[in-house]
């Protein structure tokens, strides 16, 4: 997980495609439109076209294909269960059940893989309650060090024999290991908060404002939006 | 929660949620924004779905709130056992909520295009029940380990039972 997350984050910060230069706000609108149309689409053909657009967005985002595929394919495990429980024997049902969540996960990968997290969270934090908005920034900031620590912990447990013995012993030891993470997280949060207060924290984290700064690259986002609208108008009543 | 989810368990890569310990340590009100942030970040990674952030938050927050209340109710037990049982109670509530939501989805009307899927509730129940029991056991044992560690290393992080607080207040007075 940490490798996947780190690669997505790295891609978002260092990528040089037009999507990376476009404003976060425009991409959020297109992503919301794509996911919303995917959910409410009454037509399988339209859903297929929307899924194709999502793939096009991901493949042109400069993300390594393996990373994009690994991130987008996550819902498949649960989907197998859902399809098995709802299948009526027709391929159309399978496609309808599979394409909707996969379109949404591909769209999320495109959005996160082309937008640095301060730009992505800044518009969201303006509409979220303060706790949740600030939590997004602070959690993401601490996430990589905590994930690295979790992996170190897992390796240490394995090397010191914590992964041997009965499942009950192994899980209890893992719990104790996670206890060290809990204590570390509390102490880290306290020191971070003290640092923020010392530096004049006003009680609200405001993201940078360039999430809404438009550039020529936004024409590509506009084109994607036009493609979505055109596909919807043309195919809404198709089978 | 996110760090715990990075530790895969077994060949099926079961991931812990730690909703119970989070609810116990932070309280129901404190756990809600935490659960929302975790669900949102996971959804942005394609883990969990953008459209179900609210649903995931609701289910995990219910688990956290139940565990918090259960831990306080089990105040006479040792904290490690209290944490394990309270986490199990949280998982029970989360499992029931989640199953209810999925059953409602399975029984929902026809799909777009007129397809009428046949819900196989028995198949789903069989698979999910086994996974849910295993998941509850794993979460409870891990919560026990966390509780045992915190009691020995940093007991101040654990919420105290109402009786203990009352005794402390009386002693201070």
Which pLDDT score is estimated for A65?
83
pLDDT in tens, B77-127: 888 999 999 999 999 999 899 888 888 877 776 565 565 666 677 777 777
A45 touches chain B (CB under 8 A): no
Closest CA relative to residue A137, chosen from A123, A115, A150, A122: A122
Q: Which residues, at least 6 apart from A82, have a Cβ–Cβ distance to it below 8 Å?
A: A97, B105, B106
Give the C-alpha separation, A237 to A42, whole Å. Answer: 7
Q: Which residues of B touch A168 (CB under 8 A)?
A: 141
Which residues lie across from A69 on neighbouring strands? none
Q: Which of A137-151, A181-195, B20-34, B66-80 has the lowest mean pLDDT?
A: A137-151
Which pLDDT score is estimated for B86?
95
Q: What is the DSSP string of A110-157?
A: HHHHHS-HHHHHHHHHHHS-HHHHHHHHHHHHHHHHHHHHHHHHHHHH
Most A-contacting residue of B10, B36, B46 (CB-CB within 10 A), to test interface: B46
The Cα of A32 is separated from the nearest Cα of chain B by a number of Å equal to: 9
Q: Which residues, at least 6 apart from B36, have a Cβ–Cβ distance to it below 8 Å?
A: A132, A135, B53, B57, B61
Q: Do B38 and A147 meet the contact criterion of CB atoms below 8 Å apart? A: no
**Where do we find the tokens 């990373």?**
A67
Give the C-alpha separation, A127 to A25, whole Å. Answer: 13
Q: What is the DSSP string of A65-124?
A: HHHHHHHHTTTHHHHHHHHHHH--S-HHHHHHHHHHHHHHHHHHHHHHHHS-HHHHHHHH
**More reliable by pLDDT, B24 or A84:** B24
Give yes or no for residue B68 having a pLDDT over 60: yes
- For A152, name the nearest residue in chain B, comparing CA atoms only: B7
| A67, A68, A201, A211, A227 from A62: Cα distances, Å | 11, 10, 37, 20, 21
Average pLDDT over residues A228-238: 89
Q: Which of A45-49, A209-213, B5-9, B17-21 has the lowest mean pLDDT?
A: B5-9
The Cα of B119 is separated from the nearest Cα of chain A by a number of Å equal to: 5
Local structure of residue B158 (DSSP, 8 states): S
Give the C-alpha separation, A192 to A186, whole Å. Answer: 10
Q: How many CB atoms lie within 10 A of CB A235?
A: 19
The Cα of A185 is separated from the nearest Cα of chain B by a number of Å equal to: 10
Local structure of residue A210 (DSSP, 8 states): G
| ipTM over cut 0.85 | no
List the 154-183 stretch of A: residues with Cβ below 8 A of B: 154, 167-168, 171-183
Which residues lie across from B14 on neighbouring strands? B9
Residue from the list B112, B142, B145 with its beta carbon closest to the beta carbon of A96: B112
| Most confident among A112-116, B67-71, B78-82 (mean pLDDT) | B67-71
Most B-contacting residue of A182, A183, A185, A187 (CB-CB within 10 A), to test interface: A182
pLDDT in tens, A41-96: 888 899 999 999 999 999 999 888 887 787 777 777 778 877 877 777 788 888 88
Confidence of residue B4 (pLDDT cuts 50, 70, 90): low
Which pLDDT score is estimated for B63?
94
Average pLDDT over residues A23-33: 92
Closest CA relative to residue B61, chosen from B87, B33, B99: B33
User: Which parts of A141-212 are beta strand (E)?
Assistant: none
* Model confidence, pTM: 0.81
Q: Do B66 and B91 meet the contact criterion of CB atoms below 8 Å apart? A: no
Contact A136/B143, CB-based, under 8 Å? no
Residue from the list B45, B115, B142 with its beta carbon closest to the beta carbon of A112: B45
Looking at every residue in chain A, the average pLDDT score rounds to 84
**More reliable by pLDDT, A167 or B3:** A167
Give the C-alpha separation, A5 to A16, whole Å. Answer: 19
- For B33, name the nearest residue in chain A, comparing CA atoms only: A132
Which pLDDT score is estimated for A138?
84
Domains and CATH numbers, chain B: 2-172 (1.10.1760)
Q: Which of A27-36, A134-143, B139-148 has the lowest mean pLDDT?
A: A134-143
Q: How many CB atoms lie within 10 A of CB A182?
A: 22
Phi first, then psi: what are they for A82, rounded to 5°? -65, -40
Q: Which residues of A touch B16 (CB under 8 A)?
A: 178
Q: Which residues of B touch A146 (CB under 8 A)?
A: 2-3
Most A-contacting residue of B29, B145, B150, B159 (CB-CB within 10 A), to test interface: B145
């Amino acid at each position: 997980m940490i490798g996947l997350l780190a690669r997505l984050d790295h891609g978002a910060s260092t990528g040089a495609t037009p999507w990376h230069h476009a404003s976060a706000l425009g991409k959020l609108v297109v992503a919301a439109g794509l996911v919303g149309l995917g959910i409410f689409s009454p037509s399988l053909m339209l859903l297929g076209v929307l899924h194709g657009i999502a793939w096009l967005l991901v493949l042109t985002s400069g993300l390594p294909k393996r990373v994009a595929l690994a991130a987008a394919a996550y819902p498949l495990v649960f989907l197998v269960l859902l399809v098995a429980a709802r299948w009526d024997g027709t391929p159309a049902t399978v496609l309808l059940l599979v394409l909707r969540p996969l379109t949404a996960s591909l769209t999320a990968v495109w959005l996160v893989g082309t937008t640095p997290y301060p730009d992505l969270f800044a518009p969201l934090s303006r509409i979220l309650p303060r706790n949740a908005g600030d939590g997004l920034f602070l959690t993401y900031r601490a996430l990589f060090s905590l994930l690295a620590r979790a992996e170190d912990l897992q390796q240490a447990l394995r090397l010191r024999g914590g992964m041997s013995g009965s499942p009950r012993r192994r899980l209890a030891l893992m719990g104790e290991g996670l206890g060290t993470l809990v204590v570390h997280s509390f102490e880290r949060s306290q020191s971070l908060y003290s640092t923020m207060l010392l530096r004049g924290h006003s009680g609200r984290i405001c993201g940078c404002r360039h999430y809404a700064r438009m550039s020529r690259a936004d024409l590509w986002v506009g084109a994607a939006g036009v493609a979505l609208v055109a596909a919807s108008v043309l195919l809404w009543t198709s089978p | 929660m996110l760090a715990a989810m990075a530790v895969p368990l077994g060949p099926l890569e079961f991931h812990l949620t730690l909703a119970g310990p989070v609810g116990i340590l932070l309280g129901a009100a404190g756990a809600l924004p935490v659960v929302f942030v975790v669900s949102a970040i996971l959804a942005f990674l394609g883990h969990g779905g953008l459209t179900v952030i609210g649903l995931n938050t609701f289910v995990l927050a219910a688990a956290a709130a139940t565990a918090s209340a259960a831990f306080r109710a089990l105040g006479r037990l040792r904290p490690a056992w209290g944490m394990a049982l309270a986490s199990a109670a949280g998982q029970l509530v989360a499992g029931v909520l989640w199953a209810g939501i999925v059953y409602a989805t399975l029984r929902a009307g026809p799909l777009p295009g007129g397809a009428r899927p046949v819900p196989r509730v028995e198949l789903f129940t069989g698979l999910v029940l086994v996974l849910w029991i295993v998941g509850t056991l794993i979460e409870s044992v891990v919560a026990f380990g966390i509780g045992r560690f915190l009691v020995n290393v940093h007991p101040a992080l654990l919420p105290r039972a109402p009786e203990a607080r009352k005794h402390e207040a009386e002693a201070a007075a």
